Amino acid sequence: MFSFTLQVKSDGYERSPSTRVFLCASSPDDSGRQALDWTIESLVQDGDELIVFRGIDQDDLGRKILRSICVLPL
């Protein structure tokens, strides 16, 4: 099993008791990008946390798919 965790925070961000947390499953195709865009546009507000989950097939480990992982600004 393989796990990769990337944590990025906006400058000055601090979690508070009212912080909402959203989980979005995404994939490298257009539908995955649409799911992420919809979540950001429709649900997430300032002060919220967004966790993006992307499953990777074990056969693809070490291939270019890992090099394509990037951070999208919110």
Per-residue confidence at 37, pLDDT binned at 50, 70, 90?
very high
Evaluate if pTM is beyond 0.85: no
Calpha distance 6→31 (Å, rounded): 22
In sequence order, the β-bridge partners of residue 25 are: 53
Has residue 9 got a pLDDT over 90? no
- Is residue 39 very low, low, confident or very high in pLDDT (cuts 50, 70, 90)? very high
